[in-house]
Structure 1
Amino acid sequence: MSSVNILQSSFNGGELSPLMDARVDQSRYGNGCSLLRNMFVHPHGPASRRPGLRYAGGCKYHERRARLIPFAFSVDQSYALECGHLYMRVWKDGGQVVREDGTPVEVATPWTEEDLEGLKFCQSADVMYIVSPAHAPRKIMRHAHDDWRVAGLVFGSGVIKPAGLAGKAVGASGTREYSYVVTAVNKDTEEESLPSEPVRVQAASSLNVDDRIELSWDVPEGNYEYRIYKCWNDSESYGFVGRASSGSWVDRGATPDFDDGPPEIRNPFTEEGSYPSVVQFFQQRLCFASSRQKPQTVWTSQSGNYENLNVSNPLRADDAVTATIAADRVNAIRWMLPTKELLIGTVGGEWIMSGVNGEPLSPMSVAFQRQTVRGSADIMPIVIGSTVLFVQRCGKVVREFRYSLDVDGYDAGDLTVLSEHMTRDSMVREWAYQQSPHSIVWCVLENGALVAFTYEREHKVVGWHRHDTDGVFESICTIPGLGGDELWCIVRREIEGVPRRYVERLASYFAGGGMRDAFFVDSGLTYEGAPQDEMVGLEHLEGKTVSILTDGWVHPDRVVTGGRVVLDRAASLVHVGLGFVSDLSPMKPEVPLRDGTAQGRTKRISRLWVRLHESLGLKVGPDASRLREVVFRKGSDALGQAIPLFTGDKVAEFDAGYSPDAGILVRQDYPLPMTVLALIAQLEVGDR
């Protein structure tokens, strides 16, 4: 029999797969856990309890699914858009955006409940472009905080073509027919209109100063110049002959440049089956991809003109681009992402699209190169620093798509390989990245579970953790906020036997210092003001047993009746909501012995030190059936006041016998904070 103290000072390996139970040789075993429930890991090692979910309001339809889409103009002008069956509503600052008369901001949309999962979007300032394979492309426009509109895209030039084009011959009588068209060019954006209606003029066979043709047209208000194109044969091909800054121009025998022709109208999205299912920006172009008829084709706008898909004859460098991936099989494009090249994820593999030899993308310079053959799920990727994360085609594997010098190209490493059990039973439905303050990727699974992983590539941290609530998660998104990124959720809960869908927001991460921000209840509300002995406004939790924190005290649980709960005594700061349990259990302990490993030998933990930071109220034991509460109140603490938060070591005597596992479970089921910095166990190892 030997006794030794073992230390686990980091938990950023996250929750590891049960298949890792014997991998004591793996580097992440020593900082991993067998269970991390409603806990998250910091990149530098500690594990903290996740914040609770603040109730924001109910979805419009409780019987239909909805989806949250982020709309971020700036840090202080960010919104979560609730897209549901034929409608869109707007959420911000913990509540729903309303008009001056108090009515919610709501806009009609063409997307049904069945269309929501397939929506893809990208944003430029106050305009979000959004596509669905079942509908023509749309854009969501924010004109003001309470003025939102959804409109279809009218593809083509935003510059109106010149009208009233007329021509007259001066000089010798006409023996030859000339034809002209004129376009208008916006001097600010350099966007060119479609050509005017042609005008035909009979004039001398050879034009000069005396024998000429004078053109004129109507001039609209605006900062325009004009381009004149000429045709002098039966081919009906026009070539550039000159510019004008006003509404007139004289042809004295200019020779057309047929390498520079006028724009031609083009709209490839005119009917069902031709609508794109992917949209993204790249090199000042708006890019669409993957219609049902052409699943491997990419269409881009003109450079700088997002809703203009026109081309010229012959093509110009800034014209719209159409290109199709030439692959060994038809693999639909699932996503696009702009980097130095345009990254493209298809069902069969991952590609890059760019100009040839580093040139800008243009109709004359476009190339595809396949990088990996993992295959992508129909979920938009996430960018973290210089790394792109995407979900593999099976929906259960997360890969990082990043440039590798070893292969002089992109590689796609597996981030789920050591925690594959997290997505073993269900695929990823949606995900969102919360960059600040803790760099966490949150994933909603098809079965309504919520899993997440802390990701810091430069520190080689990929730590998974699981989260649950009294209900199921259906949609999530993150938007920037003044105190960090905000995570918004749609949660389906059962209230008095009836399903209800709520919009809820993850509370701010607890940073210590006091109990005011210690919010550790779900679907919860806070009252702060003059002392009162009841909490009202809880109709959304009718019939539910709720956890309560009053002025830093853990109040006995109550059942919500008539939308209220009565408190034992008046309090000025009250948090009320659904309780949840947070668990941390490290991997089986391993210590080096003179005669080999401790694995397989009987072991006993006789004492445990839990090193805490700004924590209160937790239980410790070998398993869930043998937990002992850790005592925090000291004799020196003032009576009638809440116990202050504790930082330091707490010693827990263990009621455990000898076993091969020597398990440890740390649990928090009160509405209180908990951050575990380290576990120090006094371990006795048997001879066999």
Structure 2
Amino acid sequence: MTLQRPIATSFNGGELSPRMGGRVDTAVYQVGAAVLENFIPTVEGALVKRPGFEHIEDAAPGASWLSAFRFDAAREYLLEWSDRRLRFFAGGARVETAPGVPLELAVPYSAAEAPFVATQQSFDRLYLAHPAHPPARLTRTGPASFTYEPLPLANGPFADANADRGVTVSASDTTGAVTLTASAPIFAPGHAGAFFRVEAANAAEQRSWQVGIAGITPGTVYRNDGIAYTATSAGRTGTNPPRHTEGEAWDGDDTPGRTDINGKGPFGVRWAFRHDRFGVLRLGSIAADGRSATAQVIRRLPDSLVAAPTHRWAHGAFSAAAGWPNLVVATGGRLILIKRFELFASVSGDYLNHATHTTSGVTATDLAFRRTLSTPDPALWAIADRNRLLIGTASREIAVGAINAAQPLAGDNIEAVPQSYFGSAPVTPQQIGTQAVFVQRGGRKLRQADYDFARDRYAAENLTVWCRHVTASGIRQLAFQKDPEELLVAVRGDGQLVVHPHAPEQEIKGFARIVHGGGAIRSAACLAGADGVTDELWVLVERDGGGVGVERMAAWREDDAPRADAFFLDSATAARAAPGQQHFSGAIQLAGARVDVLADGGVIRDVRVNADGAFTLPATSVPRDRGFRVVVGRRFTALAVTLRPELRGDGQSSQGKRQRVVALVLRLLDTAGIRIGARAGPLDALLDRSGDDAMDAGVPLFSGDSTRSVSGGWDRTGQARFVSDAPLPAVVVAAMLTVEVGS
């Protein structure tokens, strides 16, 4: 028999996969753990018990999703999505129109559709896209007012132009309400409300403008550079051809006495813009045979369309018949809408304008463009990164950018280059620092995409390579808390959270799990706190016993904070109490439950909450000489289990040998209420009240080394566990085991 004393100086390797149980030779094994539940590994290496969740409000019936609306660095709103309506939270409370009356906004998205609504923030508006609904925007019009409207897109976008010269369209008029008649059934009911574009088949009915044409009278129509103009004065044409696209302009000077260089004149006619080659309409009712439709003219039609049908027409790219974009992203001064395989970029600097040609039919680099992606699978997510657009599909990840990096992205300066072939899940990535974290197809792996200059492509490292089990039920949402702890948060399908202290420069590998003490977490979002500096984690909790609530993780505890300020309960409510107060109300979210209470830093177990949310504390548990703070909520357990130690006291591995943990020393920081034991043995309290501690107050928080003999029998693991289920803080800085090893 020999005694060995291994030390665990860091836990930021996180909870490792059971498949890593034999990899005692790896560096990550030395800083890993077998179980980390509600204990979070930090960048420094210590394990910190996570804060509790504060109940804010009950959610609307059927609530399914949370997301953020960022107005500025200090004002960020939480959006609660339920069935076809939104609620709002800000400043730690629900936004209300009157006390107890939530601000609600009608939207077309069902509760099942809400998780798949793509968003793009731009100052006071949030652009929205979903494949079952028109693209839209949510606009903040005041501190407690929002509006929702479909995007008022202009000039398209349009689908491919008709290629069959035998299928033509004519119009009953060139302005106002018209009827379109087609030679084939080209209209479907789903086209109602969509754009429709027509182009003059020829311009033979209008003669070309020339210099010096005499006999022009008002009403005469000429064309120049593909644009038709109507004369509004009489005379001979001047020397400046009309090129304007609205209003009127002169082609010369007809002022009496004015002559040209040859002493002739005056010459000049005033011309009014009439139309160009293109006309745009919005379709109305569709005939049953699909050969005609009513429409409202948005952009005046060419005159020839009344008498001469044209084969040059195109449907709008977005409609109930053609489908709606599923993604929206802003980059390079353009708003880009993505519909499956197609990318539609707006005019530069004009998010709603999709004009692809000038009035003369000429393309320009700053105009809108459309690009079809060469990929076998439709786009599932898109984010702007550096000067590129990263797009994830089920089979690959693609970078879309300019061919010539010195020029802006444009229809003639664009390329789509595959970066990796892992495939993605339809989960919006999180951009963290210089990297983008996305979920691989299947929902089990988290990958970190970072640009590699040496390879000129994005490399996507597997963050969960050491802990495949932590994502066992799949990841459905990602969030990131920047401050005070840099934590990547993933919502699992079974209602747990997976958290990762994301600090790539420190090579942190660890993951841990958050298990709510009284329900399943269905959605999560991080918002800027009221101070504009720290971030808050908000969650949507499906409570055990029924009901759904919006909860906010309490602030991460600062070192040296008072014990009485602890907040380590879930679905919890905090209140200030008067001296000697025993009776409390307002915990309706805990109705019928047995809960724990922290009163002035003292722990009270198994308090019954009445059906009306009221509860009573024993008179002996509350101070009578001062006011105090009360926190009531559901208990959760923080659990850490060490890995099998690798001990080489005799030069041989201890793996597989009989061994037992006989003592344990924990180096703690501001800790109370922690118990220890062998993995399969009983638990013993590590910290006792000293003779100097007051008996009418809780045990003070302890910092330093504390040792305890461990009760337990022989096994072949040599593992220890630490448990904190009291509503008090716990920080484990290091662990020193004494292990007896058999032959």
Could you tell me the TM-score, scaled by structure 2's length?
0.79
Distance in 2 between the 1:267 and 1:202 partners?
35
Corresponding residue of 1:655: 711
Q: Give 1:174 shift.
A: 2.9
1:152-163 matches, within 5 Å, as: 152-156=150-154
Q: Name 2:401's counterpart in structure 1.
A: 354
Q: Which of 211, 214, 217 is the matching residue for 1:172?
A: 214
Cα distance in 1 between the residues matched to 2:652 and 2:366: 70
Distance, in Å, in 2 between the alignment partners of 1:461 and 1:110 is 42
CA deviations 1:227-259 (Å, max 9, x no partner) are 9999xxxxxxxxxxxxxxxxxxx96899x9xxx
Tell me the equivalent position of 1:601. 657
- Deviation at residue 450 of structure 1 after TM alignment: 1.9
Does 2:597 align with 1:548? Answer: yes
Shift of 1:649: 0.8
- Equivalent position amino acid for 1:422 in 2: V
Match of 2:456 in 1: 408
Aligned residue runs from structure 1 range 144-223, under 5 A: 144-156=142-154, 172-174=214-216, 177-179=221-223, 199-201=229-231, 207-208=237-238
1:666 aligns with 2:666: no
Contact 1:180 1:229 in 2 (8 A): no
Structure-1 separation of matches of 2:583 and 2:249: 75
Which consecutive residues of structure 1, in runs of 5 or more, have no partner in the other structure? 183-194, 219-225, 231-249
3-state DSSP of counterpart to 1:463: coil
Q: Distance in 1 between matches of 2:138 and 2:251?
A: 37
Q: Does 2:509 correspond to 1:462?
A: yes
Contact 1:611 1:678 in 2 (8 A): yes
C-alpha spacing 1:601/1:268, structure 2 compared with 1 (3 Å): same
Match status 1:73 vs 2:117: no
Amino acid corresponding to residue 595 of structure 1 in structure 2: G
**In the superposition, relative to structure 1, how do residues 157 and 81 fare at CA in structure 2: closer, same or farther (>3 Å)?**
same
Instruction: Sort the Cα spacing of 1:275 and 1:533 in 2 relative to 1 into closer, same or farther, 3 A.
Output: same
**Distance of aligned partners of 1:679 and 1:178 in 2 relative to their CA distance in 1, 3 Å threshold:** same
Moved more, 36-45 or 266-275: 266-275
**Alignment correspondent of 1:386:** 434
What SS does the aligned partner of 2:43 have? coil
Which amino acid letter does the alignment assign opposite residue 156 of structure 1? A
Counterpart Cα distance in 1 of 2:497 and 2:243: 72
Distance 1:480 1:49 in 2: 22
In structure 2, how many angstroms separate the alpha carbons of the residues matched to 1:622 and 1:578?
A: 26
Distance 1:213 1:42, change over 3 A: closer
Residues 89-124 of structure 1 show CA distances to partners (whole Å, capped at 9, x for unaligned) of 001222211125653111111111221121110100
Residue 623 (1) aligns with residue 673 (2) = no
Q: Pick from 285, 304, 320: which aligns with 1:271?
A: 320
The CA deviation string for residues 377-407 of structure 1, in whole angstroms up to 9 with x for no partner, is: 1011111111111101111111111122443
- CA change 1:104–1:25 in 2 (3 A) is same
Give distance in 2, aligned partners of 1:652 and 1:263: 85
Does the alignment pair 1:522 with 2:570?
yes
Return the letter of the residue paired with 2:145: D
In structure 2, relative to structure 1, the CA distance for the partners of 1:272 and 1:567 (3 Å cut) is farther
Question: 1:414 Cα shift?
Answer: 0.8
Does 1:83 pair with 2:81? yes
Tell me the CA shift for residue 631 of structure 1.
2.9
Shift of 1:72: 1.3
1:335 aligns to 2:378 (yes or no):
no
Deviation of the 1:40 alpha carbon? 0.7
The structural deviation recorded for 1:467 is: 1.4
Q: Is 2:479 the partner of 1:432?
A: yes
Cα RMSD of the aligned pairs, angstroms, is 3.1
Shift of 1:412: 1.2
Counterpart for residue 453 of structure 1: 500
**Is this contact kept in 1: 2:242–2:251, CA < 8 A?**
no
Aligned to 1:52: 52
Q: Which runs of 5+ in 2 are unaligned?
A: 157-174, 176-208, 253-266, 281-298, 300-314
Instruction: Please name the residue that 1:298 is paired with.
Output: 343
Quick one: distance in 2 between partners of 1:640 and 1:106?
A: 48
SS of corresponding position for 2:479: strand
SS of 2:404's equivalent in the other structure is helix
Which amino acid counterpart does residue 173 of structure 1 have in structure 2?
G
Give, in whole Å, the separation in 1 of the partners of 2:602 and 2:642: 30
Which whole-Å CA distance do the structure 1 matches of 2:383 and 2:114 have between them?
21
Report the CA distance shift for 1:465/1:75 in structure 2 as closer, same or farther (over 3 A).
same
Aligned residue in 2 for 1:221: none
Alignment correspondent of 2:201:
none
Q: Structure 1's 101 and 178: CA in aligned 2 closer, same or farther, altered over 3 A? A: farther
Give 2:17's aligned residue: 17
- Over the matched positions of the two proteins, sequence identity in percent amounts to 29
From 508, 523, 542, the counterpart of 1:492: 542
TM-score, normalised to structure 1, is 0.85
What's the secondary structure of 2:6's corresponding residue? strand
The structure 1 residue matched to 2:444, chosen from 396, 402, 410, is 396
Partner of 1:678: 734
1:309 CA displacement: 1.2
Equivalenced residues, count: 622
